[in-house]
């Protein structure tokens, strides 16, 4: 089963990359930008908890987003060692474009399933993620 999940992830990444040709935006970067847009000012630790991306990968990912000008960051008031991350105006534009592409990619992926099974599939994926997120904490 893990091999099938891995292959499904590869397919999803390939489809997303083909549809979202926005400055080489990856699905993981898209996920992080989406979380930042949902709640401005999260710390990188908060982003780790909400996305499931490990700390060192998140640090590198945020550094790449900073370099592209898609996010800004500053030290938090609560902890001078932590950074608060916010979308830049350019990041907002990228995310807006990417949401359209991501929706198209989602539709392409789900089209391989019978219409009556699509929501069950999404529910099953959400259950797997939720159950394993609790265990990893």
CATH number for the domain harbouring residue 47: 1.10.10.10
Tokens of 34: 């989406």
Whole-angstrom distance, CA of residue 11 vs CA of residue 101: 15
Task: Provide the number of structural domains found in the chain.
Answer: 1
Whole-angstrom distance, CA of residue 30 vs CA of residue 9: 15
Q: Which band of pLDDT confidence, cut at 50, 70 and 90, is reported for residue 137?
A: very low
pLDDT digits (tens, 9 = 90+) for 74-115: 887 777 777 889 999 999 999 998 898 888 888 988 999 999
Range of the domain at 46: 2-136
pLDDT of residue 52 exceeding 90, the answer is: no
- 1 or 114, higher pLDDT: 114
CA angle 19, 46, 48 (to 5 degrees): 55
Whole-number percent of the chain with pLDDT over 70 = 95
């Amino acid at each position: 089963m893990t091999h099938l999940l891995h292959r499904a992830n590869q397919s999803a990444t390939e489809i997303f990359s083909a549809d979202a040709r926005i400055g080489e935006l990856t699905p993981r970067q898209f996920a992080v930008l989406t979380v930042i847009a949902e709640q401005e000012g999260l710390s990188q630790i908060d982003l780790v908890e909400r996305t499931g991306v490990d700390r060192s990968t998140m640090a590198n990912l945020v550094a790449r987003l900073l370099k592209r000008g898609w996010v800004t960051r500053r030290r938090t008031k609560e902890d001078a060692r932590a950074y608060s991350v916010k979308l830049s105006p350019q990041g907002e534009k990228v995310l807006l474009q990417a949401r359209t592409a991501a929706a198209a990619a989602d539709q392409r992926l789900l089209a391989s399933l019978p219409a009556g099974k699509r929501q069950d599939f999404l529910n099953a994926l959400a259950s797997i993620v939720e159950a394993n997120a609790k265990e990893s904490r």
